[in-house]
Every structure is written in structure tokens, then in C-alpha cells.
Amino acid sequence: MGCGASLSKTTDTATQPIDREQQEAARKADDKPSFTSETQMEVEYIGEDELKIMKTLRHYPKPVPNSKGQKQETPVQWFNDWTPEWPDAVHSMTKQRQPKSQDTDSGLEDVANIGLTVKDIEFRARHTPRYFNESFDDLLEYLVMGVDASARPDMLVVRALVNWLSSQKLNTYKHLEGTEDSPEGCLALLAQKRTTFSTVFTIICRKADIPCVQIGGMCKALGRYQPGDTNMTDLACLWNAVYIEMQWYIIHPIWMCRTYVGTKSNGWFKFAEKSQLLSNFNKQAFTDYYMMTDPEEFKNMCYPFDSQWQLQKKPMSRKEFLDQPYLLPPFFGLGLALKSKHPCVLDVNTGKALIEVEAKAKNSYLLHLWYELSFGNSIPLLNESDGKYVEPQVMPKHVRMVRSGYKWKFDIHLPVEGAYKFAVFAGPNPNPLVRVCEFLLKCSSRKSNCLPLRIDPGPTGFGPNISCELVGLVIPMKTRGEIYIRKGDVFIAKFLVEGNVAEKIEVKATFYASGFAGSRTEKVLCEISRKQREVSITATVPKDGEYILTIWTASNFEQRKRNGYQPVCHYLLTSYATAVQESPRQRHQRRKLQSAMETEDMNGMGNAIELCIKEGIDPNDDELEYAKLKCQVIKARKDVHDCSLRKNLDITVQTLKFINQSRLTKVLCQEIVTLNNLKEGQDYGHVDPDYVETETESEYSLQYSMEPRKHLTLQ
């Protein structure tokens, strides 16, 4: 199949470059502050391409909506040791198969492998000997050999071409003569900036008999685009679509070959080989992501001038594209979703803005989120109306990052009128944080009486998080970081403690009044029940207002003396949040439940839970869930004691299985050791291989359900 390439300066209508003047005349830029960025994502234009090709060929199938998105063996994995799915799937998803040939200098006779996998074909393409680049025939014979034995040969061919192109060191081709007659000639043109990645990719796809279309449009390239931009003249861009397996799929060559990544500290930058900070970030993820990208996600980044190439049943308009939230690829790769429905530009006329993000529930506890609030050039640091100076270092204290289970909300209080840029960063512990979304905040009226928080909680934010679990506070009673309180209320926070640290952990709490002039410290009671493996913190609210309760820990007495306590969790107690309305009968039953938990009365807790639900309290309420887990802990410890006395292997194996499938494995880690010792160190006789679980045992096993805990929506 011919590719229709030519270096001629004359072109027909199908190959005319994008008319920048007409685009600029059709678009009017909004007034907005200019924000700077350390680096930029590259884009490429038809107008700078000397190598002219037909964008499409007449016999190509027409584009139709493609709801399938990426057809990959595994999802794009942005971090080498983490996936948004259940942790049990991490091993199988990250297991790297060894390619069948690792000799980078081998000839064709060494690569004719039958049943090549994606890993095989990608490895081979990335290590293509340079002499194959002298001829399209030789290169394609090398890259595609063996793919016919695969169930999806066309997909493997496209992946081979993508990985070959992304692995080329263009500087080594700068001195060669640029020509469209050979791969190295095309690479020379690319190195000399006389053609584009999109054009080279189109040519080689068509040489391989893969239908490939070049698509022109606009893109929200990081560093070049800022939320609120409407003049996209300088952001015209090229990408491609390939037709394989009876569908059109999106490919973005320039972004696959020029990867950028971000951290909180210094924005987005190009990968450095010696960077320890990004050692766990999967650089191959960018190549994977822009290879057959899901159109539903791609529409957040690129807008084709020909709407049919959105591959959507309901194509969006140019205005809808510009107005939609600015979500970056890692946002989807981390399994995040934007719950607050608003555009990329928020008109803030009350001095308050709210942004809510939700993660997948299954292992969201591993995620850290953080933010960056930047001033626009138009914001005066001196507030002329009241003469007060707004200190930039205080700005983080005007943002309340509140976590509630697998949900986060950013409650932003703006003390001065003007324009701000708000960026959210995310990453699984202990990996670096990457930029996932950005918003422009246009504040026309400041928040009245806008005082900063008493402290800056940092990336831990408000609410239990992975920091708690790392020190041994594994199951919190209060999963919401923001709690509504009134004068005289007693706030109680409890944590079940990991069994291995319960005897040594040191815990304290501080309780600050925040938002008042001369913020003050309030009394708080902290108790550790080492036998019951529980920490309890109690604070009485002296009057309406806003308070911060901080929990500090040290792993043992020696560490406390040497390094002091470290903050692991903050709660924001406020009278300004939405109140949770409960009837007197509901409050009465809740008090009875709290009393039963204090006395470790399992039957009393069970009865109180039933009565709370009967009175209309949500069965997934934090306190009810925590009481259920406490009942499970008490019963499990009793069952372990029974196993020791009864010397029955079947019962021991069942109990061990139920605990291992529960959320209590860390709390009951010592009991697990005991059961394993009983199972392996005692001869109880033969375990019946035909054992069938009885109805009673099935009911018992439900107490150790593998289902993740459900959390309440933020109030």
C-alpha cells in the first residue's frame, strides 16, 4: 500500500497546512493571568512538516464510535509496584515475562519466534539493530516476524512500530540526508525538525499495510496550556488513528516518544536517569497510555477539527472541550474520578471553592493526594481595603484537604480577590506525587472573615490515611476527616492497633482551637488499651467554632525520647460544616452502643447495632462498622483460644482461613501466628479433603468478609 509521501512544497487541498490566521480570527482569548511551568509537553504542526502526505486514503473505512478503548493484555500501569485494582492483582499485573530473545545484535534467524507476546515484540522493537533502518523492507521484516502466530497480529505490529519509533536516538541521525525513501532518512528529517512523529508513524504504518490516518486538532499540552485558555492557535497538534481488528484506535506518537512526568516539588520535567525520586514511576506508561487510548479519556486532552475522529456517539463541541475540567493521563491511571461537576474555570463569588475527587475503593488507602495553590499576577499581596498583608507561605492554610475513606475534598478559602491556579497531585505510597488535574479559580469576592487554619496538616490532610496504617493504627472508627460539632459535644476517635506494635506504641493527641485570634490549646484525653489493642482519644468542645485534633505517635519509648512524636492524623472539627440530623432516639441508641464498646460487651454491641439500624441509622455508619469489627476481634480471639483447647485441625484451619480473609489480619497477626503454630506443630490427624462448609460455618465466615469497607459520603 502506498503512503503518498512527498517532499514537494506544492500540495493539494487534502494536504494543506492548518490555517493559523483563520483559526486565530475565529477565536477570542479570555483575560487570564499567566502562569509559568518548568517544562512543556511537545506538540507538532502540519505547517512545519516538509514531508507531505495524504491525511487519509479514499478506500479507508469511515470512523465510527469506539467504546472499547484500549485492547491491552493489562491496564496501563503508571507505578511499577501499584495498580488501582485489588492488591492481590498486583503480582500478576506486574510480573514481567522474560523476552524470548535478548540478543540485540541478532539477525533475522534469531527472532523468528512462534507465539510472540506483547513483551517479546516490544523488547525486540526497542532493541532493533541500527542497520535495519536502512530499508523499510528489512525493518518491517524484522519487526513483524512471528506475529502471524498470534491471535492479534495487527495489534502486535502497531505496538512494534510504536516502540521502534519511541526508542530511536534522533541526534545520531542529524547528519544524514533527509529523505522519505528509508527509515533512517525519515529519522533524519525528524531529527532536523523538518517533519513530525505523526507523519513518520503514518508512513511506516502504511508501509506495513496498517491503515493509518493523520488527524489535526488542538490539544491541552502540559506547560503550554493553562486552564481557561480559549485561544488554541499555538496548540494545534497532530496525532493518528489506526484501523485494526475492525475498529479505529487512537495513537499519539509525539506524546509516546517525548514523555514528561510531574512531582509536587518542581512540576513536570523530563526523566533523568539518576533521579531517585522517580525510580518507581513507570516511564513506559506514557508509551502504553497513548497507544490505543480510550476515546472517553482522550477527549479530555485533544480535540480533532473533524469531529468524527472523536470516535464518540455524541461528539462534544469546541466550547465543551475548552470548558471541561483539565484532567491529565495519570488521573485516569490512578483510578480517580472527579465528583464535583464544574468546568476548568471556577467563578468564585463567595470566596469559597470546592473540588471533590474519588478513588477506587479497593486500595485507595495507599494513595496520597496533595495540592498546589498558585497566585496569579493580578493578585495584590497587600489588601488595600483592610491594610492586611497576605503572606504566600500562609496560603496552604486556607485549603482544607479532607479525606473520607476513598474520597477527598478540597475546601478552598480565598482571602483576596483575583485569579489562582489550583493543581492536584496524587501517587501511591511511597512513590512520588504526579500532577493529575488543574483548575483556574477566578475570585470576584473574598471570603468574609477568612482566617487561616491553626496548622498546615501537610500531605496527610484531614482524616485517617496510609500514615496511620504505617505506624500501626490500622482501623479507625472515624473515617471522615471533617466532623460537625457543637458546644458541649464530646468527640471520640478510636483506632484498632496492629498486634505487633500494640505493646510498644506511644500515642498522644493535641486539640487546638483554630480560626480564633490567638488560637489556643484545649484539653484532650488519650488512652491506650494494649490488651484490647485499641487507642481512644476524647475531646470536649468548649464552644462553637473550628478545632483541629492531631494524633501523634512514636514506635516506642526509646524513639520518643530520641526523635519525639510524629503527627500521623488530623481531624477538623467544625460548627460550620453541614450538620448530620439525628432524632433523640437515634442519639440514645448511639450512646448505648458507645457504652457497650467501652465494656467490650459483644452481645451488648450486637444488640445496640441492631437497635441503631432499626432507628434508621445507616448500617454503614462509621461507629456501627467499627463496632462490628470489634465484635469480630473479640470472637476471633475467643475462637483461637478454643482451637488451642480443642486440638481440632479442621476448626483451626477454618479459623485461620476466616481471619486471613478479613480486614483484621494486622490486628490479629499474633493470633495468626498462634494458629499456624497449632496447625504445623501439632498432629491432629487427617483433614477431610471432601469437607463441605455447613450453613452455620458459612454464616460464621461472613463475619470475615473480603468485601472492602463502605464509607459515608462527605457531609
Q: What is the domain-level CATH number for residue 382?
A: 2.60.40.10
In a domain, 641, yes or no: yes
Confidence at 562, pLDDT banded by 50, 70, 90? confident
In a domain, 517, yes or no: yes
Q: Are residues 471 and 590 in the same domain?
A: no
What's the number of domains the chain is made of? 4
Give the separation between CA 477 and CA 628, rounded to whole angstroms.
11
Mean pLDDT, to the nearest integer, of 447-466?
85
Question: For 595-619, what is each residue's pLDDT tens digit?
Answer: 988 888 888 899 999 999 999 999 8
Choose between 503 and 682: higher pLDDT.
503
| Mean pLDDT score of the chain | 77
**In terms of C-beta density within 10 A (0-12 exposed, 13-18 middle, 19 or more buried), how is residue 382 classed?**
exposed
Give the separation between CA 106 and CA 117, rounded to whole angstroms.
19
Q: Are residues 350 and 413 in the same domain?
A: yes
Give the separation between CA 31 and CA 236, rounded to whole angstroms.
20
DSSP 478-523: --BSEEE--TT-EEEEEEEE-TTTTTT-EEEEEEEEESSTT--EE-
Q: Are residues 477 and 434 in the same domain?
A: no
Q: Are residues 249 and 355 in the same domain?
A: no
Choose between 299 and 5: higher pLDDT.
299
Q: Are residues 355 and 435 in the same domain?
A: yes
Q: Are residues 668 and 571 in the same domain?
A: no
pLDDT of residue 497: 93
DSSP 27-95: --PPP------S-------GGG-SSB--SS-TTSPPP---------SS---SBTTB-SS-GGGHHHHHP
Q: Are residues 313 and 360 in the same domain?
A: no
The DSSP letter of residue 181 is: S
Confidence at 284, pLDDT banded by 50, 70, 90? low
Residue 323 and residue 282 in contact, taking contact as beta carbons nearer than 8 Å: no
Give the separation between CA 661 and CA 699, rounded to whole angstroms.
14
Kindly compute the dihedral angle of the four CA atoms of residues 194, 196, 197, 198, in this order, to the nearest 10 degrees: -150
DSSP 556-613: SHHHHHHH--EEEEEEEEESSSPP----HHHHHHHHHHHHHHHTT-HHHHHHHHHHHH
Domain end point (choices 558, 579, 600): 579
pLDDT of residue 682: 57
Given a cut of 60, is residue 278 above it in pLDDT? no
In a domain, 45, yes or no: no
The DSSP letter of residue 156 is: H
Mean pLDDT, to the nearest integer, of 334-362?
89
pLDDT of residue 433: 82
Choice among 29-38, 518-527, 641-650 with the minimum mean pLDDT: 29-38
Domain end point (choices 554, 579, 604): 579
Q: Are residues 366 and 269 in the same domain?
A: no
pTM for this model (two decimals): 0.78
The DSSP letter of residue 640 is: H
pLDDT of residue 651: 86
Domain end point (choices 393, 418, 443): 443
Q: Are residues 316 and 341 in the same domain?
A: no
Choice among 69-78, 389-398, 453-462 with the minimum mean pLDDT: 69-78
Q: Are residues 492 and 620 in the same domain?
A: no
Q: Are residues 282 and 135 in the same domain?
A: yes
Choice among 165-179, 257-271, 425-439, 594-608 with the minimum mean pLDDT: 257-271
Residue partners of 268: CB distance under 8 A and separation at least 6:
37, 38, 39, 41, 222, 223, 260, 261, 262, 435
Q: Above pLDDT 90, what percent of the chain?
A: 35
Q: Are residues 320 and 394 in the same domain?
A: no
**Most confidently modeled of 27-41, 212-226, 308-322?**
308-322
Confidence at 537, pLDDT banded by 50, 70, 90? very high
Cell numbers found for residue 464: 485517617
Choice among 190-204, 357-371, 585-599 with the minimum mean pLDDT: 357-371
In a domain, 44, yes or no: no
Q: Above pLDDT 70, what percent of the chain?
A: 74
**Most confidently modeled of 8-12, 227-231, 583-587?**
583-587
Q: Please name the amino acid found at residue 715.
A: Q
Range of the domain at 531: 455-579
In a domain, 711, yes or no: no
Choice among 347-356, 388-397, 449-458 with the minimum mean pLDDT: 388-397
Choice among 116-120, 150-154, 584-588, 683-687 with the minimum mean pLDDT: 683-687
Considering Cα of 312, then 313, then 319, then 323, what sign does the dihedral take? negative
In a domain, 23, yes or no: no
What is the total residue count of the chain?
715
Q: In what helix (H) or strand (E) does residue 240 lie, and over which residues does it extend?
A: strand 236-244
Helices 118-126 and 153-166 cross at an angle (nearest 10°) of: 30
The DSSP letter of residue 527 is: E
Closest CA to 628 of 703, 533, 549: 703
Give the separation between CA 196 and CA 50, rounded to whole angstroms.
9
Residue partners of 698: CB distance under 8 A and separation at least 6:
none
Give the separation between CA 214 and CA 605, rounded to whole angstroms.
66
**557 alpha-carbon distance from chain centroid:** 37
In a domain, 695, yes or no: no
Choice among 228-237, 350-359, 436-445 with the minimum mean pLDDT: 228-237
Mean pLDDT, to the nearest integer, of 580-607?
88
In a domain, 394, yes or no: yes
Q: Please name the amino acid found at residue 239.
A: W
Beta strands in 342-406 (DSSP E): 345-348, 352-358, 367-375, 382-383, 388-389, 399-404
